[in-house]
Amino acid sequence: MVVAIVRRVAILVISVLVASIVVFAFMAVLPGDPAQVALGVNATPELLAKTRQDFGLDRPLVEQYLSWMGGVLHGDFGRSYVTGEAIGPQLLDRLGVTLWLVGAGMLVALVLAVPFGALAAVWHRRSGGTAISGLSQLGVAVPAFLAGILLVQVFAVQLRWLPSGGWTPPNQDTGEFLRGLILPALSLGLVQGAVLTRYVRSAVLDTLGQDYLRTARSKGLRPYPALMRHGLRNAAVPVVTVLGLQLATLLIGAVVVERVFVLPGLGSMLLDSVSARDLLSVQGIVLVLVVAVLVVNFVVDLLYAVIDPRLRAAR
């Protein structure tokens, strides 16, 4: 067990390092000079030279990488080439918004997928099961941003129940914060919930035919309690894998949904930085998102062992 964890941690650390090199190299091969890109074509040579020196762009690439990475490890993402402001604090702020959105979206997905997926499995070959499967197929085919646009149209424009966008920090006005979070979370979560429903269904379907469920039933457990106590736990292993992959999808999906609902998250910061040609910010945000995906995958790997003791012994 310990060896397996150490191995996994080592893989995570190496992956993060390689990913950071990839992100850095990607921005470094840029045709043209970041200072020129940031200042525009009309910048004087003196100003360019000064900017280059200020931001250390005249140093060798390896040195630039090491100083960038060294800073990142201390939470210092450098200063924006465009505004001159520190990137780290803003990044942290924006990450908070995105994490609220992703968390709420995941919650919506889970609340939908676990009961509906389990019901679709129990009712398979019956009209109820077919209806759930059909609806989940349809849900998978709707892009999150389209769901967002339609939700805004119905609940914000026509019914006027909820705000169509904008962000209220949770510590400022909790009620407004929650109201503002509902539509974005739904547009992210509905689609992922549809995807997840299909996996929950097939995982529960697998456990339904197993001997231990028959044993539980023969002990006198009624069908639903038996499914709750024995079926769902066993179905959890494949579902957790998908959940991990979905967290990554949600994180990226949030980029689009933030755009629809004008939320000040990491995604809109990324898009704004790209249009402002603020490449150091782009570099920092991409790194944070990629590392987040790697960490999620790492946690999912560890969770297997917790949920399924058999896998613990095997590794």
Partner 1 sequence: MSTPLKGRTSPTLVVGAVLVGLVVAAALLSFAWTPHDPLKVESTARLLGPTGDYWFGTDKFGRDVFSQILVGARTTLYVGVIAVGVAAVVGTPLGMLAGMSKRWLGEFVMRVNDLVLAFPALLLAIMLGAVYGASTVTAMIAIGIATIPSFARVARSGTLQVMSTEYVLAARSAGRSRLWIARRHVLPNIGGLVIVQCSVSFAIAVLAEAALSFLGFGTRPPTPSWGRMLQESQELLTVHPRLAIVPGLAIAVAVLGFNLLGDGLRDRLDPRLERR
Given the rule CB under 8 A, which residues bind partner 1? 11, 15, 18-19, 22-23, 26-27, 29-31, 124-125, 137-138, 140-146, 149-150, 152-153, 157, 205, 248-249, 252, 255-256, 259-260, 270-271, 274, 277, 279, 282, 286, 289-290, 293-294, 297
Q: Which is nearer to partner 1, 110 or 266 (CB)?
A: 266
Fill in the amino acid letter for 308. D
Q: What angle do CA 289, 295, 299 make, to 5 degrees?
A: 145
Q: Which is nearer to partner 1, 27 or 43 (CB)?
A: 27
State the minimum distance, in angstroms, from the CB of residue 296 to partner 1: 9
Fill in the amino acid letter for 6. V
Q: Which residue's structure tokens are 């579902």? A: 239
Tokens for 73? 């490890």
CA distance linking residue 302 with residue 9, whole number of Å:
10
State the minimum distance, in angstroms, from the CB of residue 88 to partner 1: 20
Q: Which is nearer to partner 1, 90 or 246 (CB)?
A: 246
Q: Which is nearer to partner 1, 111 or 154 (CB)?
A: 154
Q: Helix, strand, coil shares of the chain as percentages rounded to 5? A: 80, 0, 20
Is the dihedral angle over the CA atoms 82, 85, 86, 92 positive or is it negative?
Answer: negative
Q: Which is nearer to partner 1, 164 or 221 (CB)?
A: 164
Provide the strand spans (E) within the chain: none
Spatial contact of 120 and 133, defined as CB atoms under 8 Å apart:
yes
State the minimum distance, in angstroms, from the CB of residue 2 to partner 1: 20
State the minimum distance, in angstroms, from the CB of residue 293 to partner 1: 4
State the minimum distance, in angstroms, from the CB of residue 79 to partner 1: 18
State the minimum distance, in angstroms, from the CB of residue 267 to partner 1: 9
Is the dihedral angle over the CA atoms 290, 296, 298, 300 positive or is it negative?
Answer: negative
Cα dihedral: 187, 106, 274, 21 (round 10): -160
Q: Which is nearer to partner 1, 256 or 307 (CB)?
A: 256
